[in-house]
Each structure stands twice: as structure tokens, then as C-alpha cells.
Amino acid sequence: MNKTIREVYGELYRMRRNVPQAYVEPAFSGYGESAKASNAAVDTLPDEISKSIDTVAEKVSKDLNKELRPDAKLLLLVNFSDLVVAPLVSAGTASLEKIRSAVEQDIALLIKDAAQRKDKKEISGHDIIDALAKRWATLAISVFDLWE
């Protein structure tokens, strides 16, 4: 990976983890009181998601000597924040604890699966996408019926 691009991905990951998700409330305020109440808590979720990513990445680095690249971290953070957590919280269809638990499980599953590639010392965003395609049917977030 190009060194400059790698640094940019790393900086985007650091910046994105601190972006409040409050923009969700105005867009989805019509989904009921539980959604409005939950939106206050959703501001901390990108940071929580990134902590889960970093925790699993550190374990994989230690156990398997493989680094989770910044592009892979950003891919996981953006996708889980914007395509899983924000819609679920805004719709008020699941508790934050159930969402957190499912997201943490899936982050660990995807990173560990992506780390199984024997020919690489780094885990890329592409590796995460391959793992996602392979594990789609077994994701913990499947219980929320986000997609068919």
C-alpha cells in the first residue's frame, strides 16, 4: 500500500471515530420516542466501535503477527456505524446493548476470518470484504433483519 495513502486512511480513522452521530436524529425523528431517546446515546458508538476494532486488531497482531491496516479499520468503522448502528438506533427496533453485542461479535469474526490468509502479514480492507462475503449468513447482526 502506498505510504501516503496509508497515512491518510489512518488519519481518517482517527477523525471518524470521534464524529458524533447526532446527524441521525433530524433525518429519522419521525420513528418514535424510543429512537429520539436512543439518538443521544448513539454519539458515543463510533468510539465504542473503534475500540472494539482496535482491541481485536491488537489481539490478532499479538497472536497471529498480522496488522489490521488503517483502510480495514476505516471500512469496519464506517460500515458498522452508518449501515448497521445508525439505522437500528434511529428506527428504535433494537436495544443498544443487543446492537453493541452483535457488532462486537461481528467485528471479531470478520477480523479473525480475514487474518486467516496465510500469504499476508497485513489485513486489508479487501480482506475484510472477502471475509464479509464469506460470513454474511452467520453475522450476529442478521437477527436485526437489516437486509435480505
What is the per-residue pLDDT across 57-92, written as a single tens digit (0 to 9) for each? 999 999 999 999 999 999 999 999 888 888 888 778
Cβ atoms 50, 17 nearer than 8 A: yes
**Residue 9 phi, psi dihedral angles, 5° rounding:** -60, -40
> Within 13 Å of residue 10, how many CA atoms lie on the same side as its CB?
10
Indicate the domain borders of the chain: 3-144
The answer, yes or no, to whether residue 23 has pLDDT greater than 60, is no
Q: Where are the alpha helices (DSSP H) in 17-136?
A: 24-28, 33-42, 45-64, 70-79, 86-91, 96-114, 125-135
The yes/no answer on whether domain 3-144 falls in CATH 1.10.3470 is: no
Residue range 49-59: mean pLDDT, rounded = 93
